[in-house]
């Protein structure tokens, strides 16, 4: 009962790293590390006495060479005979392997917790699916991308997350997975709100021997912004080539234009008959428009020289003058309404181009007549700075919501081959270059349809 060894088998001696006989001189607690020995004396022995039996208590033995051996101990108090009234029966087994397993298990558990945490926090959707594509797990990223909570998503079929047109592609990918092949593709997903977004989806099969698909995982990433950037890049490439083409055409046209201008001038000098003279004048005006188009519209990307003080009333007049014949033909009444600051410091050529584009659109919108107003008024910027507000308003057809949403997009036009869709796009750019902002109001309400484009330019 005091721990003195009465008997030990060879296996125990091997654990302790000594021979059986030397063991008989010691007590069990002397074979333990100091900490374990104290534990034996103060806790193990008293509670064994109390309960009669104890199971799987771990101790560390110390071998003569100092090496520690972890063991598990089962103990029972047995009634003895003869001189020993009671003795302790100890079963000890080496726990080295088990300790290793435990440590391994703990490490594996930590690792899987870390991985789970990464999955949980990922901004990509990482989801697990059954072999028949039913959602089994749903992380934060999935919730963000699709707007569905885990409860809403679980049990749904993967197909329901994607747009109709992507289903065939998805089915083909799942067929690949069944043959054990990983797949990556870019398809269109539907958010809970009904919004469509571009996503990339990579799927990995989970196979169990002998090659049976038990499920698969999918990693889905929102690539909308990347796609948008790619499209914008493509668009700007198109624009750059259009710009290059346009400016080379403008360049080529310029020489013959100048010749015709000169020829008309000579003609005008020579002809005296007043009817012919007015025809020549009209031809000159039309030619001026062609030059205008060649130098301004086609060479829109050309930088202008410098800011000058522009007299707005005069500028409005000259813009309206260019369209005069056509405006009269279409029974369009014009108003040139300048008040307050008549001058604005800006790039004159660019402001002219802006007005030409806007008047052209107004003209197109009023094929059956109407009113066109060019107006300038003193105004203030939100910051309080003095500014000028320039308005081009028409009583034309007006624009519907989808036109309003897209009108500043390059190549957006409702005029078929009659439009380039570049007018407002250029206009917006030119307004910004002159420090201004642009706003569009439009209505298609019958009887009072029309459009007002307002631009605000800082005065300095």
Binding interface with Mg ion (CB under 5 A): 361, 423
Task: Name the residue nearer to ligand ADP (CB basis): 216 or 316.
Answer: 316
343-346 and 308-311 beta bridge pairing: antiparallel
Which among 98-106, 202-210, 290-298, 412-420 is the span making contact with ligand ADP, rule CB under 6 A? 412-420
> Out of 396, 430, 434, 458, which residue is the one contacting ligand ADP (CB under 6 A)?
396
CA distance 443 to 404: 10
How would you classify residue 374: left for phi > 0, otherwise alpha for psi between -120 and 50, otherwise beta?
A: beta
Question: Pick from Mg ion, ligand ADP, none: which does 425 bind, CB < 5 to 8 A by kind?
Answer: ligand ADP
Question: Pick from Mg ion, ligand ADP, none: which does 414 bind, CB < 5 to 8 A by kind?
Answer: ligand ADP
Task: Name the residue nearer to ligand ADP (CB basis): 248 or 402.
Answer: 402
Minimum distance, C-beta of residue 335 to ligand ADP, in the bound complex (Å): 15
Task: Name the residue nearer to ligand ADP (CB basis): 125 or 393.
Answer: 393
Interaction of residue 159 with ligand ADP, rule CB under 6 A: no
| Residues of span 361-390 touching ligand ADP by CB under 6 A | 361-362, 365
Interaction of residue 191 with ligand ADP, rule CB under 6 A: no
Task: Name the residue nearer to Mg ion (CB basis): 62 or 366.
Answer: 366
Taking each helix axis as running N to C, give the angle between helix 224-270 and helix 274-292, from 0 to 180 degrees, rounded to the nearest 10: 160
Q: How many CB atoms lie within 10 A of CB 203?
A: 23
Minimum distance, C-beta of residue 408 to ligand ADP, in the bound complex (Å): 7
- Both tokens assigned to 371: 């009113």
Which among 143-151, 160-168, 367-375, 421-429 is the span making contact with ligand ADP, rule CB under 6 A? 421-429
> Out of 187, 394, 430, 438, which residue is the one contacting ligand ADP (CB under 6 A)?
394
CA distance 80 to 88: 9
Residue 217 and residue 126 in contact, taking contact as beta carbons nearer than 8 Å: yes
> Out of 12, 138, 347, 412, which residue is the one contacting ligand ADP (CB under 6 A)?
412
Interaction of residue 430 with ligand ADP, rule CB under 6 A: no
- Both tokens assigned to 156: 């749904």
Reduce the DSSP state of residue 208 to 3 states and report it: strand
Task: Name the residue nearer to Mg ion (CB basis): 196 or 360.
Answer: 360
Interaction of residue 4 with ligand ADP, rule CB under 6 A: no
450-458 and 386-394 beta bridge pairing: antiparallel
Question: What CA–CA distances, in Å, run from 31 to 11, 54, 75, 293, 375?
Answer: 15, 19, 16, 105, 105
Task: Name the residue nearer to Mg ion (CB basis): 173 or 361.
Answer: 361
Task: Name the residue nearer to ligand ADP (CB basis): 183 or 357.
Answer: 357
DSSP 397-448: ----HHHHHHTTSTT--SSGGG--S-HHHHHHHHHHHTT-EEEEEEE--TTS
Minimum distance, C-beta of residue 429 to ligand ADP, in the bound complex (Å): 11
Interaction of residue 300 with ligand ADP, rule CB under 6 A: no
Question: What CA–CA distances, in Å, run from 456 to 27, 142, 207, 402, 407?
Answer: 100, 44, 65, 24, 19
- On the 0-12 / 13-18 / 19+ scale of CB atoms within 10 A, 177 is buried
DSSP label at residue 28: G
Question: Pick from ligand ADP, Mg ion, none: which does 146 bind, CB < 5 to 8 A by kind?
Answer: none
Residue 364 and residue 402 in contact, taking contact as beta carbons nearer than 8 Å: no
Interaction of residue 327 with ligand ADP, rule CB under 6 A: no
Which among 218-226, 269-277, 346-354, 394-402 is the span making contact with ligand ADP, rule CB under 6 A? 394-402
> Out of 44, 146, 300, 425, which residue is the one contacting ligand ADP (CB under 6 A)?
425
> Out of 420, 429, 435, 441, which residue is the one contacting ligand ADP (CB under 6 A)?
420
User: H helices within 306-422, ranges in order?
Assistant: 312-329, 348-365, 401-406
Interaction of residue 291 with ligand ADP, rule CB under 6 A: no
Which among 149-157, 203-211, 215-223, 360-368 is the span making contact with ligand ADP, rule CB under 6 A? 360-368
- Both tokens assigned to 392: 């081009």
> Out of 139, 376, 397, 434, which residue is the one contacting ligand ADP (CB under 6 A)?
397
- 336-362: buried (b, 16+ CB within 10 Å) or exposed (e) per residue? bebeeeebbbbbbbbbbbbbbbbbbbb
Minimum distance, C-beta of residue 446 to Mg ion, in the bound complex (Å): 24
List residues binding ligand ADP (CB under 6 A): 357, 361-362, 365, 394, 396-399, 403, 407, 412-415, 419-425, 451
């Amino acid at each position: 009962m005091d721990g003195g060894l009465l008997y030990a088998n060879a296996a125990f001696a091997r654990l302790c790293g000594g021979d059986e006989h030397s063991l008989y001189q010691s007590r069990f607690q002397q074979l333990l590390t100091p900490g374990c020995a104290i534990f034996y004396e103060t806790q193990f022995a008293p509670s064994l006495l109390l309960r009669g039996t104890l199971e799987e208590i771990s101790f560390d033995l110390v071998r003569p060479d100092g090496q520690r051996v972890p063991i598990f101990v089962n103990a029972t108090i047995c009634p003895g005979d003869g001189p020993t009234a009671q003795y302790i029966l100890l079963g000890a087994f080496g726990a080295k392997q088990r300790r290793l397993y435990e440590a391994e298990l703990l490490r594996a558990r930590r690792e899987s917790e870390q991985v789970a945490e990464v999955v949980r926090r990922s901004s990509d959707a990482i989801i697990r699916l059954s072999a028949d594509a039913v959602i089994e797990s749903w992380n934060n990223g999935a919730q963000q991308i699709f707007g569905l909570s885990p409860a809403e998503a679980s049990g749904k079929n993967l197909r329901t997350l994607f747009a109709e047109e992507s289903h065939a592609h998805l089915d083909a990918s799942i067929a690949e997975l069944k043959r054990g092949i990983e797949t990556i593709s870019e398809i269109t997903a539907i958010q809970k709100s009904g919004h469509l977004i571009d996503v990339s989806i990579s799927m990995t099969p989970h196979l169990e021997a002998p090659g049976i698909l038990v499920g698969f995982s999918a990693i889905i990433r929102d690539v909308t912004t990347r796609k948008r950037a790619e499209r914008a890049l493509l668009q700007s490439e198109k624009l750059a080539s259009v710009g290059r083409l346009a400016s080379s055409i403008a360049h080529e046209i310029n020489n013959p234009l100048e010749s015709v201008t000169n020829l008309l001038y000579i003609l005008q000098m020579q002809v005296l008959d007043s009817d012919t003279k007015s025809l020549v004048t009209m031809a000159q005006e039309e030619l001026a428009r062609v030059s205008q188009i060649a130098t301004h519209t086609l060479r829109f990307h050309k930088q202008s020289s410098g800011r000058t003080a522009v007299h707005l009333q005069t500028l409005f007049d000259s813009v309206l003058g260019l369209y005069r014949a056509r405006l009269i033909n279409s029974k369009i009444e014009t108003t040139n309404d300048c008040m307050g600051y008549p001058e604005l410091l800006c790039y004159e050529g660019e402001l002219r181009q802006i007005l030409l584009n806007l008047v052209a659109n107004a003209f197109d919108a009023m094929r059956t007549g109407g009113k066109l107003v060019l107006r300038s008024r003193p105004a203030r910027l939100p910051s309080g700075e003095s500014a000028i507000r320039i308005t081009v308003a028409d009583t034309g057809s007006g624009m519907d919501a989808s036109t309003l949403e897209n009108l500043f997009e390059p190549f957006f036009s409702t005029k078929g081959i009659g439009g380039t869709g570049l007018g407002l796009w250029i206009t917006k750019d030119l307004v910004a270059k002159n420090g201004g902002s642009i706003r569009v109001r439009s209505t298609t309400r019958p009887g009072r349809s029309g459009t007002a484009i307002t631009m605000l330019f800082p005065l300095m």
